Amino acid sequence: MQIETLRIFCNLTELGSFSRAAEKNMLSQSAVSQQLAQLEREYNCQLINRHRKSFGLTPAGELFYNTCKDIISRYENFQSSLIDLKNSSRKRIALAAIYSIGMHSLQSYIKNFMAANPDIYLDVEYLSASEIYERLMLGRIDLGFVALPRNNPEIQIVPFIDEPLVLVCCPQNPLAQKSNVDIDILPYHRFIAFAGNLPTRNWIDQLLIRYNIALKPAMEFDNIETIKRVVEIDSGISIMPITAVRNELTSGALAAVSFSNEKFIRPTALLIRRNRAMTKHLRAFVEMIDSSKAEKQK
């Protein structure tokens, strides 16, 4: 039996649809049905309950699904550990960060590490949070940096920076002249939001709910740079991490105003896959992050 067959069965179980499982694995629906039939013949038992209107597993199917998940997890850990073993002697660290962290909060740490370790090559990519989790689990990157980390038993979460959230507007906007603002003023202005599928959008939405604020964004974007450009031309205001707009604040392209209600923050974190082999170069980078972060917080 091949790992791919187990993976297809897991996809079928989790998606609850032959057509969706076929689409995810780039197969025909009949090919997925044939794979299932082959498994049931091999184990001489029914795995899918075909007598129910809704998709469901038989007790044997539940047992097989849980076993498949365990086998796939172990196999992926083996692959990742093998990659780690092959790369252990290389002076290279592969890391990925969401754009706003990689281009802003992380830059000073990278520069300091490269200055202290000129013989170690840092391979830095800017990816979405979902891609970072996926590549980390597959062993394709050593470290990941994300905002609002989600719990995963196979990933170690190391707190990185709590980024202050501020109201950002065009310098010509009257709000730019204020020393601080009440969050209740937001519904009276055109609001430019992060796209609904992003963790930062959900975090800000929850923040607004706490203050009983109903807000319908004028525009939504999945890229923080696009949001900044729209706010620069005074097409609206937004809430952003101050770390992501420091260059624009210095150049005068944007203005940032703190909130009077409380200090709002966006937590960020360094992600490391648990039980991975830590090379001395990787350990040095993580220790540098910890020591530099502690120094900056003093």
Rg of the chain over all Cα atoms, to the nearest angstrom: 24
Specify the 3-state DSSP secondary structure of 270.
Answer: strand
Task: Quote the pLDDT of residue 85.
Answer: 65
Kindly write down the DSSP assignment for every residue of 87-144, as one continuous string.
HTTS-EEEEEE-HHIIIIITHHHHHHHHHH-TTSEEEEEE--HHHHHHHHHTTS-SEE
Per the structure, the count of domains in the chain is 3
State whether 280 and 241 are in the same domain.
no
Q: Is 80 exceeded by the pLDDT of residue 296?
A: no
State whether 42 and 136 are in the same domain.
no
Q: Is 60 exceeded by the pLDDT of residue 102?
A: yes
Q: Which of 66, 85, 104 is the last residue of a domain?
A: 85
State whether 275 and 144 are in the same domain.
yes
Task: Quote the pLDDT of residue 294.
Answer: 56
State whether 106 and 52 are in the same domain.
no
Q: In this predicted model, what pLDDT tens digit does every residue of 61-94 receive, in sequence order?
A: 999 999 998 898 888 778 777 766 666 555 788 9
State whether 75 and 147 are in the same domain.
no
Place of tokens 């706003």: 100
State whether 145 and 290 are in the same domain.
yes
Question: What domain range is 180 assigned to?
Answer: 162-266
Contact 65, 9 (CB under 8 A): yes
Phi and psi torsions of 261, nearest 5°: -70, -50
pTM of the model: 0.67
Least confident of 55-64, 89-98, 207-216: 89-98
Indicate which CATH number applies to the domain containing 250.
Answer: 3.40.190.290
State whether 100 and 227 are in the same domain.
no
The H or E element containing residue 268 is strand 265-273
Task: Quote the pLDDT of residue 60.
Answer: 93
DSSP lists the bridge partners of residue 158 as 270
Average pLDDT over residues 232-236: 95
Q: Is 70 exceeded by the pLDDT of residue 292?
A: no
- Residue 45 banded pLDDT, cuts 50, 70, 90: very high
State whether 11 and 149 are in the same domain.
no
Kindly write down the DSSP assignment for every residue of 150-175, as one continuous string.
PP-TTEEEEEEEEEEEEEEE-TTSGG
State whether 167 and 259 are in the same domain.
yes
With vertex at residue 203, the alpha carbon angle to CA 256 and CA 163, rounded to the nearest 5 degrees, is: 45
- Residue 137 banded pLDDT, cuts 50, 70, 90: confident
State whether 237 and 95 are in the same domain.
no
Average of per-residue pLDDT values in the chain:
88
DSSP lists the bridge partners of residue 95 as 124, 143
Indicate which CATH number applies to the domain containing 281.
Answer: 3.40.190.10
Q: In this predicted model, what pLDDT tens digit does every residue of 142-168 receive, in sequence order?
A: 999 999 998 888 899 999 999 999 999
Least confident of 87-101, 212-226, 259-273, 284-298: 284-298
Q: Which of 27, 54, 85 is the last residue of a domain?
A: 85
Indicate which CATH number applies to the domain containing 69.
Answer: 1.10.10.10
Contact 131, 96 (CB under 8 A): yes
- Residue 53 banded pLDDT, cuts 50, 70, 90: low
Task: Quote the pLDDT of residue 258.
Answer: 96
State whether 258 and 287 are in the same domain.
no
> What is d(CA 265, CA 261) in angstroms, rounded to the nearest whole number?
12
Task: Quote the pLDDT of residue 288.
Answer: 86
> What is d(CA 222, CA 276) in angstroms, rounded to the nearest whole number?
32
Q: Is 90 exceeded by the pLDDT of residue 236?
A: yes
State whether 46 and 119 are in the same domain.
no
Task: Quote the pLDDT of residue 90.
Answer: 57
Q: Is 90 exceeded by the pLDDT of residue 51?
A: no
Average pLDDT over residues 209-216: 93
